[in-house]
């Protein structure tokens, strides 16, 4: 008897357009923010960045979100090792606008992720600038919460350390060891408690960067507030012992984030897409859970956010920050989504069946992929064309991407040989010419028009 032909899987839910604010995204797949160490000197856009993002846009991804872009020059030096992009002033706008036009030419919408400070996860090692945080409490890096192939002992060797390696799993000994090895960034130094005045300066700078992102042509912005960095450090009681208006109660601990939303709205207006990325949990003593994250997301919605993008964990909980397993955030996303009207993006979903589950059961409205988009920039096109078996599946080994990034090398992928070489490939560097009507002219068009209603 002839075998019954297998029915073709219905993947139409992945390809339904969605609105984020006034921006229409052509499908439900976003590329998550990832710093690949491709930035040119002095935080400028490089040719490799242009080609790398273009490859993912050409691969069919509906929304691409940049790596973290520094919105302020006041604290970026504590993260200099990783050379993030910047929009701290107008000098960065010309090249940034070229990056935006390049990505748009390949068919994706493009959001800028804006960050104000690494917080206590910064380092004074390269510049002598002391990191700041909600309170003067260092972060701890727990071996039991590490990601695949990232261990303090292994990192020390990768950094060129030739001395003895401690044969122990004792947390205190390992942290003392990690802190003694320059460049590992595996153990946190004690930060300085940020002042109220400094908070207000950073919040103001974020608004300025949002204005410059809009001027550069980005379709929207995402405020960076997850992963244990500065804004996150205010959420968790383990890192926030303040007694002023930024500590104690729920509203006080999220005050800085809400002020960031307001600062951006004042400079970009009510009709520009503004969203927030937060960790879904901080499951450590005096941390927070998805129910807390759901409250934060709802308050962001109430204060004018157009979308919420989840991540998880922090440097203290790296195996949540960069999940070792498929679908780890899906159950947490379902909790955050309840009662939320604006779109929610669930991260780190690589398998088609799980993407469909997220969308069809209402756990989120979109999914974002990070390492999977490194491994295969054509994931979306292959799914749409029925070529799922051809997808290069990320194994979450972290060898070519995270480990190289951690030791300040440009990221690569052990499964995808083109990663890092996109700039040498004509298909990603020779961009199509966009019709005039599809180019971002909002700044020019607004000249001579009545100003929009001010945002209070």
- Residue 179 domain-assigned (yes or no): no
pLDDT score of 2 more than 80 = no
Q: Which residue has the higher pLDDT, 164 or 267?
A: 267
Rounded to a whole number of angstroms, the CA Rg of the chain reads 21
Q: Are strands 23-25 and 18-20 parallel, antiparallel or unpaired?
A: antiparallel
Structural domain boundaries, residue 23: 12-139+188-446
Q: Are 281 and 289 in contact (CB under 8 A)?
A: yes
The pLDDT tens digits of the residues spanning 409-429 come to 999 999 999 999 999 999 999
- Name the catalytic one among 38, 229, 246, 315: 229
Report the half-sphere exposure of 309 (CA within 13 A, side-chain side): 32
- Residue 299 domain-assigned (yes or no): yes
* CATH number reported for the structural domain that contains residue 217 in this entry: 3.20.20.70
**For 62-69, what is the mean pLDDT?**
98
Domains of the chain: total: 1
> How high is the mean pLDDT of the chain?
91
pLDDT, residue 250, reads: 98
229 flagged as catalytic: yes
Question: pLDDT band at 117, cuts 50/70/90?
Answer: very high
Report the distance separating Cα 196 and Cα 280, nearest Å. 26
Report the distance separating Cα 87 and Cα 404, nearest Å. 25
pTM: 0.92
pLDDT, residue 255, reads: 98
Q: Which residue has the higher pLDDT, 313 or 140?
A: 313
**Segment (H or E) for 344:** strand 344-347
pLDDT, residue 445, reads: 59
pLDDT, residue 85, reads: 97
pLDDT, residue 76, reads: 63
pLDDT, residue 160, reads: 75
Q: Are 230 and 240 in contact (CB under 8 A)?
A: no
**For 225-231, what is the mean pLDDT?**
96
- Residue 102 domain-assigned (yes or no): yes
The pLDDT tens digits of the residues spanning 6-48 come to 567 899 999 999 999 999 999 999 999 999 999 999 999 999 9
Q: How far is CA 3 from CA 6, 7, in A?
A: 9, 12
Q: Are 323 and 280 in contact (CB under 8 A)?
A: no
pLDDT score of 104 more than 90 = yes
Per-residue DSSP letter, 419: T
The pLDDT tens digits of the residues spanning 44-60 come to 999 999 999 999 999 99
């Amino acid at each position: 008897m002839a075998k019954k032909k297998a029915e073709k899987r219905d993947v139409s839910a992945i390809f339904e357009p969605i609105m984020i604010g006034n921006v229409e995204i052509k499908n439900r797949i976003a590329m998550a923010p990832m710093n690949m160490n491709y930035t040119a000197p002095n935080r400028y856009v490089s040719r490799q960045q242009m080609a790398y993002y273009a490859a993912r846009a050409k691969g069919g991804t509906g929304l691409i979100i940049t790596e973290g872009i520094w919105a302020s020059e006041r604290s970026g030096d504590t993260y200099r090792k990783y050379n993030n992009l910047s929009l701290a002033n107008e000098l960065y706008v010309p090249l940034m606008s070229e990056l935006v036009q390049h990505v748009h030419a390949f068919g994706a919408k493009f959001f800028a992720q804006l960050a104000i400070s690494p917080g206590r996860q910064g380092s004074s090692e390269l510049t002598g600038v002391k990191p700041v945080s909600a309170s003067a409490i260092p972060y701890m890096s727990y071996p039991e919460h590490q990601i695949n192939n990232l261990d303090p002992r292994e990192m020390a060797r990768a950094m060129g350390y030739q001395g003895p390696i401690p044969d122990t799993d004792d947390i205190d000994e390992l942290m003392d060891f990690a802190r003694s090895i320059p460049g590992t960034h595996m153990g946190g130094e004690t930060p300085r408690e940020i002042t109220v005045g400094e908070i207000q300066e950073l919040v103001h700078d974020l608004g300025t960067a949002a204005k410059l992102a809009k001027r550069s042509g980005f379709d929207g912005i995402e405020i960076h507030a997850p992963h244990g960095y500065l804004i996150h450090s205010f959420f968790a009681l383990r890192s926030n012992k303040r007694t002023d208006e930024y500590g104690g109660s729920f509203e006080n601990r999220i005050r800085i984030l809400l002020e960031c939303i307001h600062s951006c709205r004042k400079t970009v207006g009510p009709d520009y897409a503004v969203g927030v990325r937060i960790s879904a949990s901080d499951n450590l003593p005096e941390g927070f859970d998805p129910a807390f994250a759901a409250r934060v997301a709802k308050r962001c919605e109430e204060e004018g956010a157009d979308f919420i993008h989840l991540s998880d964990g922090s440097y203290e909980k790296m195996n949540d920050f960069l999940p070792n397993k498929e679908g780890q955030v899906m159950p947490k996303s379902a909790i955050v989504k309840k009662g939320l009207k604006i779109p929610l993006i669930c991260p780190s979903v690589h398998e088609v069946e799980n993407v469909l589950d997220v969308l069809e059961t209402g756990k989120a409205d979109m999914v974002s992929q990070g390492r999977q988009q490194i491994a295969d920039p054509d994931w979306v096109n292959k799914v749409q064309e029925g070529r799922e078996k051809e997808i290069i599946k990320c194994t979450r080994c972290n060898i070519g991407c995270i480990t190289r990034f951690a030791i300040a090398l440009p990221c690569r992928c052990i499964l995808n040989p083109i990663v890092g070489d996109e700039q040498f490939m004509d298909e990603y560097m020779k961009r199509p010419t966009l019709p005039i009507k599809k180019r971002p002219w909002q700044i020019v068009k607004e000249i001579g028009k009545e100003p929009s209603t001010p945002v209070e």
